[in-house]
Chains A and B, each alone.
Chain A
């Protein structure tokens, strides 16, 4: 009797060998996006205005074994961008993917935003992208293929008070990009428009705000923001799938559709104005006790954040059962398998953040015994508690045996309240060669109910 394979083969990207240019690649989303494409075997051209950071990025990414060229470019300098395009096309003869990521932020009420600030924002966030599109489009048309990615912002949908100038320009670039998608189809050039939600980078670090709502939103930023690596992964996937629009975060969809209806749009904007606008903030001060209550809340929040920032937990778990080699990898019949692991997190806030990529994701390490292959081999990986998104718990860990790297992925499935005794205690696993993905063995391991006391007593808070 053979256990059925429960796992679909992972989608492999076909981007290997593509030449990708990323602006603003020295840090944040740009750097992580470069890392994703490097992992996929793409060769990179990275540009940024910050030479020091760009060199750091080059050094970090060069370990991934792909070709990387770096250029110090001010994206708002039309001639510099055109010179870059000439050099790139001359050297490589093509550009497969252009990612217009470079951008600057601004946060102030419109009446306090100077014309110079507007010009600077337009130069970088608007013209910067357009200069690149115009500079590289001819080569893409000539090649008969290409892919342009424009990074807009979720602010295009939220249109929050104090973000007016930034949102307006990002909305403009979003509109242009979405239209461009259809206009360039006839040249076999894809255009993807990306709307990142608030990203937890240095972008928001220096935002100064005097309003209570503003301070509150900055305080809670780790809870509702996304990490740049998460956004980068989403951008990469959007490019690999050739998506037209990538909304990145469901909250962007919420804001987008709230804006469709006049009533909801009005309510949302009034609420945001109340919280974020300085003039409305004065109203808060006039309401007896409200300011005190909000300040107390923020103080508590600050304390929780500083306390929980380095807080975590860990638990020990033993899963035991049987595995069976597929033909050609070992003797037939079911054999013993168990893994004893410690899993948990050292970053409780990230673990609790439903919008982050570490939401209920635990680090895992321990040992695995697979009869016929290894005994107490050290293993490292992660345990994802995907109760809400997929009704699954997924164990992923790597280990080495006889000089080969293996990856185990095991899933507890169909986790619903009515079948917890079955679904929560039974893990269906596949063991594959890490390098080739070839299936080596299938398994079912079990969490035995008589180990519950040991499991629960292993819980530890870690700092």
Chain B
């Protein structure tokens, strides 16, 4: 393994935000996991937000959503804290937002509104880099993301409203993303274990960027860990050759490289989504339609393995997010 890779892995969770920086910045550490057998999931996000040229108004945010497929609406919460009430470590993953909420490499605890959590997690997997390594040091794309701890196994407790949930061996991930602005329009998905392929990890994004009045074509990149191999369909060629389209609330995609051919669909009913308002560092807002109990079907054709095709699927373990400027037409209420 190259030194560049080793260094990138060691720094996967290091904070990219420098206190007081003038350039706008958002940076999030989020954890998410699914119940082993039921349509239940949680998503907890620790965010630093600093508006462009106004570092004095930078703040720490806590976001938490508990999804239960049997209930109609997810339970969601958000809390904001001035940056002065946050403890940042540039070279050690140990972020504290507010007096009582923190996250490090093995634990997360805290509370926001009517949700509180006290969780421990461990991952034996190597970090998953969604972009080619060099891209993390380049100005483009403006939003970066990676999965420092895929296949994290969570244990602990969550209190969501009047629901008390014991978390026992829920499987998910610990994620890290940052940038000076949110990607203009995207669908993001992640599956940490399919029902019939519990060791398969999928992460993908289809995005469209705006340059003034112009929009790029839909670009899709994908990384798949399957049967001990990692397939990275994330080079520039893949960005433009992959086919993908999404709508409320279904996303289809097709992509391939010399080793593998993938075709998939991620979908969920509107009731499985929560609507969240993400302030954008340059100004304005983006709206995130967020579900962690979506379904996913994925056809995997390994070209190097005699062309054997298999279909993996999950009914409720997929993360599915759409980030849009559209506040209303999807029908999901924007909560915060």
Query: Which A positions have Cβ atoms within 8 angstroms of B?
Result: 1-3, 320-322, 332-338, 413-414, 419, 422-423, 425-426, 428, 444, 446, 448
Contact = CB atoms under 8 A, between A and B. Distances in A.
Contacts of A448: 90-91
Interface string B84-125: 000001111110000000001111000000000000001111
B12 to A, nearest CB: 10
B6 A334 contact: no
Interface in B54-110: 89-94, 104-107
Contact of A422 (B4, B90, B125): B4
B297 interface: no
A446 B92 contact: no
B105 A334 contact: yes
A428 B125 contact: no
A446 B6 contact: no
Given A1-B127, A333-B104, 14 more contacts: A1-B126, A320-B90, A321-B10, A334-B93, A334-B105, A336-B89, A336-B94, A419-B2, A419-B4, A422-B7, A426-B10, A446-B7, A446-B91, A448-B90
A426 B2 CA distance: 12
B308 interface: no
A422 B137 CA distance: 12
B149 interface: yes
Nearest to A448: B91
Interface string B1-15: 011101100110000
B76 to A, nearest CB: 28
A320 B93 CA distance: 12
Contacts of B7: 422, 425-426, 444, 446
Chain B binding surface SS class: loop
A433 B6 CA distance: 25
Contacts of A426: 3, 6-7, 10
B3 A419 contact: yes
Interface residues of B, number: 24
Contacts of B89: 336
B22 to A, nearest CB: 16
Contact of B10 (A338, A413, A446): A446
Contacts of B122: 332
A436 B187 CA distance: 54
Q: State the 6 A-B residue pairs at the shortest beta-carbon distance, nearest first.
A: A333-B106, A444-B10, A336-B92, A334-B105, A320-B91, A426-B7
A334 B105 CA distance: 6
Contacts of B105: 322, 333-334
B91 A338 contact: yes
20 contacts: A1-B126, A2-B124, A320-B90, A320-B91, A320-B92, A321-B10, A322-B10, A322-B92, A322-B93, A333-B105, A334-B92, A334-B105, A336-B92, A336-B94, A413-B3, A422-B3, A422-B7, A426-B6, A426-B7, A446-B10
A425 B4 CA distance: 10
Nearest to B133: A422
A424 to B, nearest CB: 9
A425 B7 CA distance: 9
B149 A1 contact: yes
A321 B92 contact: yes
Contact of B104 (A334, A413, A419): A334
Contacts of A446: 7, 10-11, 91
A425 B6 CA distance: 12
Nearest to A413: B3
Contacts of A413: 3
Contacts of A338: 91
